[in-house]
Structure 1
Amino acid sequence: MAVSNSLPPLPANAMHARIVDARNDKGSLEMYAPGPGHVLVTRAVGHMTMAMAEQWVARTEHLFTFPKPLAVFNEWSRMESYESAARSLLTKWVISHRTKIEGAWFLTGSKLVKMGVAVAGSATALVGVTMHASLDRAQWESLLREKLTRPA
């Protein structure tokens, strides 16, 4: 699958401070840490691999040194599939940082991805972290804009 660069724009400031730009012939993962350390924005397209998930884990550790819990926004409307090991690793990442994560909001387009979010959300809910999957771009972007403009 060729990865397209024609993704819809995200709200202002959401794509500042890129910390991951992983691409292969099956998909891509971009990650941004805009603002004063309390928001993480990810964009995934195509197929998420274990290598991408490993970069996610390695490159976000510094975000947990900030005093405010992290709000994680995942623009995954064009993500079609993932390796099970990648979902498992990211679920473990959430659980291990549960006291420093406010929640995770996903914009999804694939039923498979939405199901994966629900499965992961069942595990993370047990430790107090909620995951929200939405098909409504306007609602997801509105909440992201709100989180990006809140005081540090």
Structure 2
Amino acid sequence: MHETKTWTTPNGEQWLWRPAPHVIVTKFRGAMYDASLANLAMRAIEDIISTEPRVDIFHDWEDMELYATPARTLMTERAIPLAPYINTLSVLFGSKVVLMGVSLASIKLGGIPTFTQRKEFEQAVRQAAESPPGTFKLKLPMEE
């Protein structure tokens, strides 16, 4: 629906796309050592939220090897004022190190649902894209 934005550094590569105007998907591959890619992603998310006030955000971080403190701190601090405009925020992860970083951010943000299975993550993205803005409700496997 919307163009994909791509950012590349020696440490990793990040993509951002929108399967629906109110749905944001980011994908990161590599090690997020510093805040440079995090800053670019947050700026793009902030721009989208300025035009779409009830967004569903999905971070596909299955291929992220490291979520270092500077990147996590920047993303968390910038997400706090956006919370009223975020309908759902979820993360797919493959690394326990990344899960630890997401868990620390989750404390400040009031909970971030996580996925470990790509199929369930992609199904949630599709359901959010098919739902009217602000109405998608994440159903975790244990809630079914």
The alpha carbon displacement at 1:83 in A equals: 2.7
Match in the other structure for 1:17? 3
1:141 aligns with 2:122: yes
User: Are the counterparts in 2 of residues 41 and 75 from structure 1 also a CA contact under 8 Å?
Assistant: yes
In 1: Cα distance, 2:120 partner to 2:82 partner: 26
Q: Deviations 1:104-152 (Å, cap 9, x if unpaired)?
A: 1111000010111111001100xxxx31111111111111110011235
Counterpart of 1:124 (choices 102, 106, 109) is: 109
Cα distance in 1, alignment partners of residues 115 and 46 from structure 2: 26
Give me the whole-angstrom Cα distance separating, in 1, the residues matched to 2:52 and 2:44.
18
What is the match of residue 9 of structure 1? none
- Equivalent AA in structure 2 for residue 41 of structure 1: V
1:45 to 15, 26, 29: 29
CA apart distance, 1:67 = 5.0
How many angstroms apart in 2 are the aligned matches of 1:118 and 1:73?
15
Say if 1:94 and 1:101, in contact at 8 Å, map to a contact too.
Answer: no
TM-score, scaled to structure 1 = 0.79
Q: Which amino acid aligns with 1:17?
A: E
Deviations 1:75-101 (A, max 9, x none): 111101033111001001210111001
Say if 1:33 and 1:41, in contact at 8 Å, map to a contact too: yes
Give structure 2 stretches of 5+ with no counterpart. Answer: 134-144
Corresponding residue for residue 85 of structure 1: 70
Amino-acid identity (%): 27
Show the counterpart of 1:151: 132
Residue 64 of structure 1 deviates from its aligned partner by 1.6
CA distance in 2, matches of 1:32, 1:67: 14
Task: For 1:44-63, list aligned pairs within 5 A.
Answer: 44-48=28-32, 49-63=34-48
Q: 1:143 to 1:100 in 2, by over 3 A?
A: same
Please, what is the CA RMSD of the aligned residues?
1.6
